[in-house]
Amino acid sequence: MVARLSKLIWYNTRILLDWNAAAAFVLMVLAPFIFSFDLLKYKEVAKVAELYFPITGIILFTYIVGIENHEHAAELVNIRTVPHVLVLVGRMLLAACFIIAMIASVLYYAKLKDAVFPFWEITAGTTITAVFLGSIAFTSGNLTNQTSAGYIMAFAYYLMEYASKGNYTGKFYLFSLMKQDFTPKYYLLAAAISIFILNLIYIHKFKSKLNTSDD
């Protein structure tokens, strides 16, 4: 059982670590060259983290739904011995872990540059923002079967929040750390989890049947 689980994790890790993951990784590696982290305070670190890091969530979660929309995906789904929904959950968790690792690494670098901020608060808050944007991207791609729709909708939401500064979303404001307010992150996390669960229900109950009927 353990060996089978290990193989499954390794297999899905290899699938996720492609050019999309490389793009997200390069994006984060470039952060110290684009921004100076020397002696930054909370608000300054939060601004960089909230506006830059969450793009990784859009990249990675759009790719996950893209995997399922590839040609002959329905046939591959049908022959899996592990339930398709569990495979998707595993990929989501792996993507989230990858995002956490990248964000934590850059923020640790900021700490080494004597930036003063609550490390875990910024790490957790920014990760939640990334995952929430990822949930929007995943949903759009899942419903339309177009990865481009995932990118467009997630970036559109990102730009709306940046321009409106949370005037329309209130407690669900995407960049609340810039106001030194962590509370909206709890709402965003709950919303992201709910959105992913609804997607999984749709995929399990409806989409798989649609794919089968199309065959």
Does residue 191 register a pLDDT over 70?
yes
* Residue 166, phi then psi, degrees to nearest 5: 80, 10
Residue 187: half-sphere exposure toward Cβ, Cα within 13 Å: 12
Q: Is the pTM of this model over 0.85?
A: yes
How many Å apart are CA 192 and CA 134, to the nearest integer?
8
Residues 6 or more apart whose Cβ sits within 8 Å of residue 149: 140, 141, 143
pLDDT of residue 209: 55
Does residue 215 register a pLDDT over 50?
no
Other C-beta atoms lying within 10 Å of the C-beta of residue 199: 21
How many Å apart are CA 156 and CA 158, to the nearest integer?
5
How many Å apart are CA 6 and CA 157, to the nearest integer?
37
**Rounded to a whole number, what is the largest CA-CA distance in the chain?**
59
> What mean pLDDT do residues 150-168 have?
94
Q: What would the two tokens of residue 135 be? A: 């949930």
**For the chain, what percentages of helix, strand and coil (3-state, to nearest 5) are there?**
80, 0, 20
Q: What would the two tokens of residue 200 be? A: 């999984």
Of 46, 76, 55, residue with least CA distance to 208: 76
How many Å apart are CA 30 and CA 52, to the nearest integer?
11
Question: Which tens digits make up the pLDDT trace of 15-65?
Answer: 777 788 889 999 999 999 999 999 999 999 999 999 999 999 999 999 888
Question: Which tens digits make up the pLDDT trace of 71-112?
Answer: 444 444 444 566 778 888 888 999 999 999 999 999 999 999
How many Å apart are CA 17 and CA 150, to the nearest integer?
19
pLDDT of residue 174: 96
Does residue 70 register a pLDDT over 60?
no
Judged by average pLDDT, the poorest of 12-16, 25-29, 166-170 is 12-16
pLDDT of residue 59: 93
Mean pLDDT of all residues in the chain? 86
Cβ–Cβ < 8 Å for 57, 150 = no
